[in-house]
Chains A and B, each alone.
Chain A
Amino acid sequence: MNPKATKPDTAGIAIAAGLAVIAAVIWWDAGQLAQGSPYGLGPDAAPRVIAVGLAVLALANFAIAWRGRLPHREAGDLGAIVWIIGGLVALIAIIGLGGGFIPATAILFAATARAFGRRALPADLAIGFVIGVGAYLLFAKLLTLSLPMGPLERLI
């Protein structure tokens, strides 16, 4: 084994800590429940079992991370992730504020294409817009699915 591999792995330890926190939250939540049914198991039984399981797994993950035995991996390109998540957040914001399905789709499309290395934002916005209009016509108008409406969709 090479000496580098025995160094504690910070990401692994963070994951273990996250699991422990989830376990604690589930355990706490189980304590808030009323018994409900007088017979058999209560609603808190399964959460407690799962919380204990997660706690044990947190320890196991911690042990592995501490010994640094994690699969090797390279760092990812954070910029790409920011573009995609940004696109999704923009989509949610536009739909949430009543901007409608088509503009939201256009922006998500362009942002994702940008994350994959395209540098033609206006062209991609246009493509996304056309896809949005086409999908809206097909699914909302023709096949009667309900998609979020905005000013543009009301015109169609």
Chain B
Amino acid sequence: MDTFAQLLAGLSIAVSPHNLLFALAGVLLGTAVGVLPGIGPALTVALLLPVTYKLDPAGSLIMFAGIYYGGMYGGSTTAILINTPGESASMATALEGNKMAKAGRGGPALATSAIGSFVAGTIATLGLTFLAPTLVEIAVQFGPEDYFALMCVAFVTVSATFGDSPVRGLTSLFIGLALGLVGIDKLTGQARLGFGMPELLDGVEITTLAVGLFAVGEALYVASRRHHAPEQVEPVRGSLWMSLDDWRRSWKPWLRGTFLGFPIGALPAGGAEIPTFLSYAIERRLSKHPEEFGKGAIEGVAGPEAANNASAAGTLVPLLTLGLPTSATAAMMLAGFQQYGLNPGPLLFADHPQLVWGLIASLYIANVMLLVLNLPLVGVWVRLLAIPQPWLYAGILVFATMGTIAAKPSVMELAMLTVFGLMGYLMRRFDYPIAPVVVGIILGPVAEAQLRRALSISLGDPMVLVESPISATLLGIAALALIAPFVLKGLDRFRAQED
């Protein structure tokens, strides 16, 4: 119970009125920057880091935590309201969340996302408190072959985003994979599909692609169909608040999302995208209302949002116990530590316990603050949708271009945004699903790099992929998930014949 006492001590530091104010200011600032499309929590923290420079360590870290959570929640808000994910991890949220918003259920979507984040944050904080040392031992045992197997599991679940035609879904996925090839090959440093343009060497920015396909593509599509099928947006239909049924349908996805997000986030190369998509796919399979998916199913918001938040807490496991910054945000947190001459790592818990527990506690406080601040604001947010359509979409495009140029100051990036916007329009018009493109560009390069690392270490022997128990298990799960639907379908037919 020693750790628990330390957490409580940390909490008592964090809830001093002084520090609560820092948390509040952080959440406000973080949300303000985080709503810009293309600017995720990492960049938000990077941009606002100077704000925290002159505070004392505890106050600064707490503000930091607030900025971080604010940035994350800002991304989800725009994903839901204007179909513009602020970062790749809130992509899955946009899929169902925006459909809900358009059907007048933006209130419940924002609420389930905020409460789900809170639930996930609470459980993940407990996980961080009690499991971090054990979890990290397992996490470093993950080799390249195991990551490759994890990617295979993720790939199998992509089909959940395919829509009704496997050919068109796969086409979208392969376009994403092809875009993922662009740029310097991580393992040999050579440019692929660079066509001699230095701007392409860093590859296609995932957020530019997502904002282009989702926001710009949608603006073009809606504008072009104004005369044929004018879009009806009702800001609020029914209750602004979650109904009993919404709660009933949300709580299990929150928990499942948390249990996917936290451990995968704790893996040094796990990330937040994979658990969000896994969560989306699982909720779609398990839902009692599968017909609602693609039209605004609350499970599809609740699960991924919880997974996103839990994975963020998960990345703190390797950061605090090993000093490994495994995500861009964690790297920024590390910078935050270092400005006080602290080096996260195995000795941090021993050398500076009050600071570590203070940080964990302040992350939790920031999470609470976010809930307190945002739930009353849900009503204000959804009223944004009542802005007349010409101005609403004009505003969305202004924000999309502003976020893109602020994240990467280059005209080339805006040109790519335009091209991806046109691509998004054409894909909508000819009925190709959008999400698999983004899934392809996220998973493809990681899967390739890990497979090649594994084979390079094994000197080309493919047996390495099944010799590791972790990867063998994961590949088994992937195979099962691939075959199971067919088997189940066969069983159904069999049963139908029996009847």
Binding site for B on A (CB under 8 A): 11-12, 15, 19, 22, 25-26, 29-30, 33-37, 39-43, 45-47, 50, 53-54, 57, 60-61, 64, 70-71, 73-74, 76-78, 80-81, 83-85, 87-89, 91-92, 95-96, 101, 104-105, 108-110, 112-118, 124, 127-128, 131-132, 135, 138-139, 143-148
Contacts and interface: CB of A to CB of B under 8 A. Distances in A.
B391 A113 contact: yes
B46 to A, nearest CB: 11
9 contacts: A40-B452, A40-B456, A43-B188, A57-B171, A57-B174, A78-B224, A81-B220, A105-B402, A108-B401
A147 B405 contact: yes
A50 B418 contact: no
B48 interface: yes
B171 A19 contact: yes
Contact of A118 (B390, B398, B453, B457): B390
Nearest to A140: B406
Contact of B398 (A30, A47, A50, A108): A108
A40 B224 contact: no
Contacts of A37: 187-188, 452, 456
Given A74-B225, A87-B397, 20 more contacts: A33-B190, A36-B187, A36-B189, A40-B455, A40-B460, A41-B460, A45-B452, A47-B181, A76-B429, A78-B224, A80-B220, A80-B224, A88-B418, A88-B421, A95-B414, A105-B398, A109-B398, A112-B223, A113-B394, A131-B398
B243 interface: no
Q: How many B residues are at the interface, by size bracket?
A: 35 or more
Interface of B: 29, 32-33, 36, 47-48, 50, 167-168, 170-171, 174-175, 177-178, 181, 185, 187-190, 192-193, 216, 219-229, 389-391, 393-395, 397-398, 401-402, 405-406, 409, 411, 414-415, 417-418, 421-422, 425, 429-431, 444, 448, 451-460
Query: Which 5 residue pairs spanning A and B have beta carbons closest together?
Result: A36-B188, A76-B224, A40-B455, A116-B390, A40-B456
B390 A113 contact: yes
* Residue of B50, B171, B459 with highest tally of chain A CB at under 10 A: B171
